[in-house]
Amino acid sequence: MTLGYKKVIQAITISLLIAIFLNGCGQRAFQQSRLLMGTLIEVTVVCRDQVQANKAIETAFQEMGRVEHLLSIYQNESPISMINNLAGDQTVMVDSEVFQILKEAIGYGKLTSGAFDLGIGPLTSLWDFGQGHIPSKDEIAAKLLLVDYRDVILNEGGEVRFGAAGMAIDLGGIAKGYAVDRAIEVLEANGVSRAMVNAGGDMRVIGRIWRIGIQHPREANSVLGILRLKDEAVATSGDYQRYFIKDGVRYHHIIDPRTGWPATDCMSVTIVAKEAAMADALATGCFVLGPKLGMELIRSLPGVEGIIVSSEGKVLASSELIKSCRFFSRDSDKGITESEYQGRI
């Protein structure tokens, strides 16, 4: 189910980019796709030379594979798995890169008042969205006691430990975004000035303006709107990406770390920021916060814009997206203000 939706997003994105590619002054778009980090990754490079493009794309995929090994909870020998296995009993040493990622993730926990919580591992391990397993209330209550980003303790020099045995880190809300950022940096280091990296909907672009479709949360073959991005990143968290329906209730993978249950107030949240890791973490955090608090947070952050679709289908878009007409929906018109915007799906 997850890859089905990712392929829809991929097809929409490619179709929207074709017009851009045709204006490349002799440049061509070279694209490759691979399965990494549990999703479909596509790297697109626009340049004149195919050999250069293929070399750059290969290095980007290699870098994302390296990041997957660093941050995966599914690879037994990854630093994150090592932390989860040992940090409840002893201090674990990690390298500066992993330490910095953990530090940033804790920062997003503070910024979102715990709506984004890297310590959510005990809860995410309870749910199985492939098999449609719903944990019991007692199971969730017991694991909630072990979830608190403030109990992931970092000491300068690379030391990591947990405040209690049984805690576990899950960086699923930021890892793909970080991998996208690293891939873009590698592409630039290989002389690429125009590119897009898409990790299952978490994207970052460089170069001229790219038009990116935002997946409609309830219509699989439709876009909610179109973003025009340049040297920016975008990430979307939605209740349609990994979910099952049981007894008429939709259970999805975005777990509220404060309750242990899927967050209920949003269908999707799209964040535009300079870096994909930030967009990724904020999309998750704002989804959990809900439309009101989520949009308040978006408005408070310089250089960050967002679109929130509430569980009732109301569409909220931050002012700069509306003013610049970077976001288009069936209900928006050029020149309206944020307070006047009353979009619905």
- For residue range 261-297, what is the model confidence (pLDDT) as tens digits? 999 999 999 999 999 999 999 999 999 999 999 999 9
Please tell me the pTM assigned to this model.
0.89
What is the per-residue pLDDT for 319?
A: 81
CA-based nearest residue to 309, from 281, 285, 345, 279: 345
> What three-state secondary structure class fits 154?
strand
Q: Which of 4-18, 152-166, 217-231 shows the lowest per-residue confidence on average (mean pLDDT)? A: 4-18
Query: Residue 324 — very low, low, confident or very high, per pLDDT cuts 50/70/90?
Result: low
In this structure, the number of other CB atoms found within 10 A of the CB of residue 193 comes to 13
CA 6 to chain centre: 13
Question: What mean pLDDT comes out for the span 217-233?
Answer: 90
Residues 6+ apart with CB under 8 A from 299: 318, 319
Q: How far apart are CA 3 and CA 39, in angstroms?
A: 7
Q: Are 157 and 124 in contact (CB under 8 A)?
A: no
What is the per-residue pLDDT for 221?
A: 84
| Residue in the block written with tokens 């209550």 | 141
Q: How far apart are CA 105 and CA 23, in angstroms?
A: 39
CA-based nearest residue to 317, from 302, 336, 303: 336
pLDDT in tens, 136-164: 999 999 999 999 999 999 998 999 999 99
Strands 233-238 and 202-206: antiparallel
pLDDT in tens, 89-122: 999 999 999 999 999 999 999 999 999 999 999 9
Bridge partners of residue 93, in order along the sequence:
159
CA 204 to chain centre: 11
What is the per-residue pLDDT for 3?
A: 41
Bridge partners of residue 234, in order along the sequence:
203, 272
Q: Are 239 and 217 in contact (CB under 8 A)?
A: yes
Percent of the chain with pLDDT over 90: 76
Q: Are 150 and 113 in contact (CB under 8 A)?
A: no
Give the domain ranges of the chain: 79-162
Query: Residue 335 — very low, low, confident or very high, per pLDDT cuts 50/70/90?
Result: very low
What is the per-residue pLDDT for 222?
A: 86
10, pLDDT greater than 80: no
Length of the chain, in residues: 345
What is the per-residue pLDDT for 327?
A: 62
pLDDT in tens, 14-65: 434 433 443 445 689 999 999 999 999 999 999 999 999 999 999 999 999 9
Percent of the chain with pLDDT over 70: 86
Bridge partners of residue 29, in order along the sequence:
46
Higher pLDDT, 259 or 6: 259
Question: What mean pLDDT comes out for the span 59-87?
Answer: 96
> What three-state secondary structure class fits 318?
coil
Query: CA-based diameter of the chain, in Å?
Result: 62
> What three-state secondary structure class fits 328?
coil
Degrees, nearest 5: CA angle 175-111-121: 45
CA-based nearest residue to 6, from 29, 34, 31, 30: 34
Q: How far apart are CA 199 and CA 11, in angstroms?
A: 13
What is the per-residue pLDDT for 107?
A: 98
pLDDT in tens, 171-204: 999 999 999 999 999 999 999 999 999 999 899 9
> What dotted CATH number matches 79-162?
1.10.3980.10
Q: What is the DSSP string of 26-39?
A: T-EEEEEEEEETTE
